[in-house]
Amino acid sequence: MRSSHSAYQWLGMLVLCAALAGCNERKDPGYQGWIEADMIFVSPDESGRVTKLNVREGDEVQAGAPLYAVDDDLQQADLNQTNATLANAKQTFERAQTLSKTGSGTQANLDAAVSALRVAEARVNTSQTRLTRRNAFAPVSGTIQQIYFREGEMTPAQRPVLSILPPGNMKVRFYVPEIDLAKHAVGDEVRVTCDNCATDLSAKIYYIATTAEYTPPVIYSLDERNKLVYLVQARPNKPASLRVGQPVSVFAHAPIPVATTR
């Protein structure tokens, strides 16, 4: 009889432990999120045909490294024309200056020649800039994420030829229910987990949306407030360990217990 009573006690303890474990698992399910990145898109000022690609997807580049070149025939022709105009303006200015010194020319003619010379010089500088920008260089250091136009293809003006992902531009995006919003603040750290990821991943919150969203869409009522969520974004401490589009789970960091002295 006593052994049967002990068995029941043991079974009850097992059931209680299982129930407590289940409660702990349900206590903090975390938030489902994913990894995104703020890409740097590099595009030409004017349309043209890509004549050379210096990089491939996945290449790491440093700021200032050559990326690609676009045909520059029109820009070179424009520079030649503005240089010719500048040469004529210089000759006109020199004649007007000589005539002014001998008293044969007027001040108005000299002023007009000076103005024309300055305009011609400005146009040459503009043409030179347009020609120089047919060769693109990396504005930041990072990894070539995607190439949109390859050699021989026409690219419209201000359409990206490629994108660069700087390491610091990775971010964790997740939604927090309205009821949990007060638990998070900008500057707080959260724990990040994912399949086959390092165990010490964390991220620092830098953005919390001020406008709520519905997920899924519902008609607003007091009974549906638990479906209101707010977008939160955080910067990971190890961006190189994550990939764009990767699903993650986000947990609030547990407070560190304060040691007490007796």
- List pLDDT tens digits, range 25-46: 455 678 989 999 999 999 999 9
Q: What does the CA dihedral 10, 15, 20, 25 come to, rounded to 10 degrees?
A: 130
SS3 for 221?
coil
As to burial, measured by CB atoms within 10 angstroms (0-12 exposed, 13-18 middle, 19+ buried), residue 190 is buried
Q: What is the pLDDT of residue 226?
A: 57
Q: Is the pLDDT assigned to residue 218 strictly greater than 60?
A: no
* Preceding omega of 216 cis (within 30 degrees of 0): yes
- What does the angle CA 161 – CA 167 – CA 173 come to, to the nearest 5 degrees? 95
**Chain centroid offset of residue 151 CA:** 25
* β-bridge partners, 236: 203
User: Does position 4 have pLDDT exceeding 50, yes or no?
Assistant: no
Higher pLDDT, 107 or 221: 107
What the chain holds in terms of domains, given with CATH numbers, is 28-37+168-252 (2.40.30.170), 72-133 (1.10.287)
Both tokens of 17, joined, read 């432990």
Cα 122 to Cα 92, 109, 118, 171: the distances in Å are 17, 20, 6, 44
Comparing CA positions, the residue from 99, 126, 103 lying closest to residue 112 is: 99
Check residues 158 and 17 and name the one with the higher pLDDT: 158
Identify which has the larger pLDDT, 20 or 68. 68
Return the minimum-mean-pLDDT range out of 146-160, 187-201, 248-262. Answer: 248-262
Min mean pLDDT across 86-95, 181-190, 229-238, 251-260 is at 251-260
HSE value, Cβ hemisphere, 13 Å, CA-based, for 8: 4
pLDDT in tens, 102-118: 888 788 899 999 999 99
Most confident listed range (7-16, 161-170, 224-233): 161-170
The larger pLDDT score, comparing residue 213 to residue 126, is at 126
Mean of the per-residue pLDDT values of the chain: 84
